[in-house]
Amino acid sequence: MQEKLSISEVKHVAELAKIRISDNEQEKYQIELKKIFNELEKIEEVKDYDEEIIITPTEEKCQLRKDEIGQMVNPKDMLKNVPRHSGNYIEVPVVINE
């Protein structure tokens, strides 16, 4: 069994996760991620199982609350945790071509 992922596989996984990893971390992730992926493969060994799935482990039906106006967040409070804002607008870098 292959003992580590290729560098391009590591880059792909990091890309999916939107996490930047530095060049000197790559080798560590090649080995660590492979180790976990090998573990996940063990699920292949389970053959005889019922197709029925469980998403939330409860028999109670999830009930939506009534669509009514309730507790509202005050914009001034909300902006306290926003790293960059201008007035009531949250600032982000330009996302369209200038």
Partner 1 sequence: MNKYLDKTIIELNQLLKEKKITPLDLVLEAFARIEKEHELNAFITLNKEEALKEAKKLETMEVDNLLFGLPIAIKDNILTKNLRTTCASHMLDNFIPIYDATVVEKIKEKHMIIIGKTNMDEFAMGSSSRTSYFGAPRNPWNKQKIAGGSSGGSATTVAARLLPLALGSDTGGSIRQPASYCGIVGMKPTYGRISRYGLVAFASSLDQIGPMTRNVYENALFLNSLVGKDEKDLTSSKKEREDFTRKIGQEIKGMKFAIPNYFMSDIVTEEIRDRIKEVIQLLEKKGATVDYIDIAYLENAVTLYQIIAMGEASSNLARFDGIRYGHSKENPKDIDDLYYGSREEGFGEEVKRRIMVGSYILSGDNAKKYYDKALSIRSDIRTSFLKAFEKYDLIIGPTTTTTAYDLTDPMDDPLKTFLDDVLVIPVNMAGLPGLNVPVAFSKDHMPIGLHIIGKPFDEATIYQLASFIEKELNLDLNPKGSDENE
The footprint of partner 1 (CB under 8 A) covers 13-14, 16-21, 29, 32-33, 35-37, 39-40, 42-43, 45-46, 49-60, 62-65, 71, 73-74, 77-78, 80-84, 90, 92-95
Q: Which one-letter amino acid corresponds to residue 37?
A: F
Which residue number, 69 or 92, has a Cβ lying nearer to partner 1? Answer: 92
Phi, psi for 69 (deg, rounded to 5)? -70, 125
Residue 21 Cα distances to 11, 30, 34, angstroms: 8, 12, 16
Query: Shortest distance, CB of residue 6 to partner 1, whole angstroms?
Result: 14
